[in-house]
Amino acid sequence: MIIKTKIENLKNYKIYLNVEQATHEFFQKKGYLKVDLPVLSPALIPESYLEVFETEFRYFDKREKLYLTPSPELFLKRLLVAGVGNCYYLGKSFRNSEPNSSFHSPEFTMLEFYKVGATYLELADEILDIMKFISSSLSFRAKSRNPIQSPMREISPLAALGRNDSDIIYKGKKISFEKWEKFTVAKAFDKFCQISKEELFDENLFLKRAQEKGYAISYSSSPESKFGINSVDNPDKNRDRQARTINFSYQDVFSQILSQEVEPKLGKNGYPTLLYDYPAEMSSLAKLNKDRKTAKRVEFYIDGIEIGGCCEELNDWHEQKKRFDDQIEKRDRFHMKNHAVDNGFIETLQYGLPDCTGAGIGFERLAMIFVDAQSIGKLKLINVK
Amino acid sequence: MKVNAGNLKKGDFIRYQNEIWQVQKAEFYSPGKGSALMKTRIKNLLSVKNVDYTFKSNEQVDIVDVESIEMQYLYKDAENLHFMDERTYQQFTVPIQLVGKAANFLQEGNKFFVYFHQEKPLSVKPPMSVRLKVVETEDAIKGDTVTGAKKPAKLETGVVIHVPLFVKVGDIVVVNPESGEYVERVKE
């Protein structure tokens, strides 16, 4: 990786700062407590898909493992148990094995907030309010800076088509935050990839259907495939290596089909799209719906890109412990680094997490929409890539 | 040879659904909650169609072994670029559509690398940059000093690109053949 100075991004960066300021204003107005949190932690929540950054605290002979937090969740939930009420964090989070790309950076800015007593669909509507608020406040700034000429963003011909104050233009298309376009996950899989509800919620049927559609559901780690053609000429060397078939998990295949066939259709019709009621397997920290198959989780999309989501937080500590164990077992199975598990978190839950919904938003991705930038890198003055 | 899809990069040739494709774009992508993926745009070398396909980042993908051989670029007709292997004088053709935009920036008579798989030409490896002479462009209007202002200029291969106002007929410019963007003016 190298360090690059990108002073040409100064204009974008200034809009980013305005988005950030508007976000703080919104939460202040709504009475959320702003919380600053550590990014180094001695233990984390186990989630089967997350790779983490590991470091070490040193003092003479003393050594202690520390991790860069992949999300502020375990800290904020502790505070919720302690009775802090509605709160939010806007700051850095870290995810390993996520190389830089248009929509990814191993080090990114996370907006995470919790509202006590709110359902997941209620909080989703508040996310819409945040976007409306940011948009109006940017447009207000632009106008007050230049009261005679209309602001830059409105030069587009689309501006004439009955634009609301909180509408924005992203990649040449108008996006309105007046409402969500909504699909349940089951409806979206049925509509966009002809996968029925029965198939979606049954692991075996789902993998079978995926295979019919041409997706790989397993792979063979035979000596040939691992060491190239040469090993065929030298079978002795590889005699002890046994070919074995490794199955992809439900999560792997679900994520792939969602990305390939569903996401490109979301957030394309002038409104952000809300996808809700995810399969329980995809939501290790969310409460389940009455059907026990779906979790109270939503994600929202603009122009095919997932920006963030929220879920009703699981507060049954027995269930949470069970799911943690399950995630740890999965991490073992897929040979991921097992970090120290935050068991204190389970203990804390025993004191009672209030009924609440928590939301997480990739803040750079959100800001990209308002800056009309095509990649995270375009928002930064200093890039490490 | 098999690699994890997470390691695919632009320019790789892969075998997918029993056909050969070239990776045009490969971007890592991971949902907030879910498994890591590799979003690619791949071009089918037979149909010349681009397809967007998302691989699981830990999915094994077949990499096609290709050889790149330096050849002289002779000329182009309506559909193909014609190359000659200077060692054997054997001639080969590569469809223009496979090479894409970069085909407009290849100067006849120069040498370029052609990709081969099992003795068949697959595509041309576009050079990082090409130097071409400007054959037609209007003189800049005096006093027009807006920074970053551009004007059209025709290069010796016939392609028209946008160049800064100070560029004159007869100048040599460096161009990125894949993006078609002006890089700099060079002294001869």
Tens digit of pLDDT for each residue in A134-170? 999 998 887 777 655 544 444 444 444 455 678 999 9
Q: Does residue A265 form part of some domain?
A: no
Last residue of a domain, one of A223, A240, A260: A260
Q: Which domain holds residue A145?
A: 3-180+306-384
Residues A97 and A232 in one domain: no
Percent of chain A topping pLDDT 70? 88
CATH number of the domain at A320, please.
3.30.930.10
Residues A166 and A42 in one domain: yes
Q: A255 and B52 in contact by Cβ < 8 A?
A: no
Q: In the predicted model, what is the mean pLDDT of residues A285-291? A: 93
Residues A365 and A226 in one domain: no
pLDDT at A163: 56
Residues A99 and A248 in one domain: no
Total CB pairs under 8 A between chain A and B: 80
Instruction: Compare CB distances from A252 to B2, B28, B56 and report the shortest one's residue.
Output: B56
Q: What is the pLDDT of residues A36-87, one digit of tens each?
A: 999 999 998 777 667 899 999 999 999 999 999 999 998 999 999 999 999 9
Residues A93 and A237 in one domain: no
Residues contacting A50, CB < 8 A, separation 6+: A70, A95
Q: Does residue A279 form part of some domain?
A: no
In contact, A25 and A34? CB cutoff 8 Å: no
Q: Does residue A90 form part of some domain?
A: yes
pLDDT at B58: 87
Residues A95 and A219 in one domain: no
* Alpha carbon of B19: minimum distance to chain A alpha carbons (Å): 14
Contacts of A216 in chain B (CB under 8 A): 56, 59-60
Q: B32 and A309 in contact by Cβ < 8 A?
A: yes
In contact, A10 and A380? CB cutoff 8 Å: no
Residue B79 has pLDDT above 70, yes or no: yes
In a 13 Å sphere around the CA of A70, the CA atoms on its Cβ side amount to 19
Residues A114 and A242 in one domain: no
- ipTM for the predicted complex comes to 0.77
Q: Does residue A161 form part of some domain?
A: yes
Residue B81 has pLDDT above 90, yes or no: yes
Among B17, B33, B37, the strongest candidate for a mutation testing the A interface, having the largest count of A CBs within 10 A, is B33
Among A73, A256, A336, the strongest candidate for a mutation testing the B interface, having the largest count of B CBs within 10 A, is A256
Q: A248 and B56 in contact by Cβ < 8 A?
A: yes
Q: Does residue A292 form part of some domain?
A: no
**What CA–CA distance (Å, rounded) separates A104 from B169?**
44
Taking CA–CA distances from A263, the nearest residue in chain B reads B31
Buried residues in A306-318 as b, exposed as e (16+ CB within 10 A): bbbbbbbbbbebe
Contacts of A283 in chain B (CB under 8 A): 33
Instruction: Compare CB distances from A251 to B2, B35, B60 and report the shortest one's residue.
Output: B35
Q: A49 and B29 in contact by Cβ < 8 A?
A: no
pLDDT at A48: 61
Last residue of a domain, one of A260, A294, A315: A260
Interface subset of B 11-50, CB within 8 angstroms of A: 17, 27-37, 39
In contact, A33 and A76? CB cutoff 8 Å: no
**What CA–CA distance (Å, rounded) separates A88 from A68?**
19
Residue A228 has pLDDT above 50, yes or no: no
Q: Does residue A70 form part of some domain?
A: yes
Last residue of a domain, one of A260, A278, A297: A260
- Concatenated DSSP letters for B51-84? EEEEEETT-EEEEPP-EEEEEEEEEE-SSEEEEE
Q: Does residue A273 form part of some domain?
A: no
Residues A147 and A236 in one domain: no
pLDDT at A152: 47
Domain count, chain A: 2
Domains observed in chain B = 2-63 (2.30.30.30), 67-125 (2.40.50.140), 130-186 (2.40.50.140)
Q: In the predicted model, what is the mean pLDDT of residues A11-25? A: 97
Q: B36 and A360 in contact by Cβ < 8 A?
A: no
Q: Does residue A170 form part of some domain?
A: yes
Q: What is the pLDDT of residues A322-375, one digit of tens each?
A: 888 887 887 777 777 777 888 888 888 888 899 999 999 999 999 999 999 999
Reported as a pLDDT band with limits 50, 70 and 90, residue A34 is very high
Contacts of A101 in chain B (CB under 8 A): 27-29
Strand, coil or helix: what is A332?
A: helix
Residues A224 and A126 in one domain: no
Q: In the predicted model, what is the mean pLDDT of residues A103-132? A: 96
Q: What is the pLDDT of residues A179-189, one digit of tens each?
A: 999 999 999 99
Residues A350 and A238 in one domain: no
Q: B58 and A260 in contact by Cβ < 8 A?
A: no
Residues A171 and A199 in one domain: no
Residues A222 and A318 in one domain: no
